[in-house]
Amino acid sequence: MFIKTESNNAYQTPSDLNRWSKRMTLFLLALPRFAKCSILFGIDFSVAVLCLVAALALRQDYVDDQIGPMVLAFYALIPVVSLYLIGFYRGASRGFFDAAMGRVLQLFLLLIIVYQFIIYVNPVSTMPRSAPIIFLFLFFIWLWNSRLMIRGLLNRLQKPDIQSS
């Protein structure tokens, strides 16, 4: 039970959260295309690192620092740069459709082969062979859900506000 006080800051109402999300969305939409792509690229790289750490933890049943930060960054950077090369960051927010994720899935299947080749060729590799598959699966889920969330915010922005009287 909430007790309403004199101050409006006692708790946030859903309309306050709705106004905040619209202001944030409008601010992000006002940024130049390069800035928006850079933000998405940076967030995706950060989440790729987290997904790779989670994949290694799931594979090895513990979190350890057997893989150095440079190797971790290298393995996490490959799919993000590959997404950029196939044009995923051009209009990925507004024009996000299932066909875009189909191309990403094809890319990730190719990347699994590339990762397996890198692990096979490197005789001192500390990366487990199944970790890239788990990593790309987690990263694929992130990409799909984050783009659906962005599309939902954009759709909500286009709908007019319905004020209850």
Range of the domain at 134: 33-155
Question: In this structure, is residue 64 part of a structural domain?
Answer: yes
How many domains is the chain built from? 1
pLDDT of residue 10: 52
Cβ atoms of 131 and 71 closer than 8 Å = no
pLDDT of residue 9: 53
pLDDT of residue 156: 74
Task: Please state, in angstroms and rounded to a whole number, the distance separating the CA atoms of residues 52 and 137.
Answer: 10
pLDDT of residue 157: 74
For the chain, which residues score pLDDT lower than 50? 1, 5, 7, 164-165
pLDDT of residue 135: 93
Task: Please state, in angstroms and rounded to a whole number, the distance separating the CA atoms of residues 77 and 114.
Answer: 13
pTM of the model: 0.77
Task: Please state, in angstroms and rounded to a whole number, the distance separating the CA atoms of residues 53 and 93.
Answer: 26
Tokens of 132: 């890239």
Question: In this structure, is residue 100 part of a structural domain?
Answer: yes
- Conformation bin of residue 141: beta by default, left when phi > 0, alpha when psi is -120 to 50: alpha
Q: What is the pLDDT of residues 12-30, one digit of tens each?
A: 565 666 777 778 778 877 8
Question: In this structure, is residue 43 part of a structural domain?
Answer: yes
Question: In this structure, is residue 134 part of a structural domain?
Answer: yes
Question: In this structure, is residue 98 part of a structural domain?
Answer: yes
Question: In this structure, is residue 107 part of a structural domain?
Answer: yes
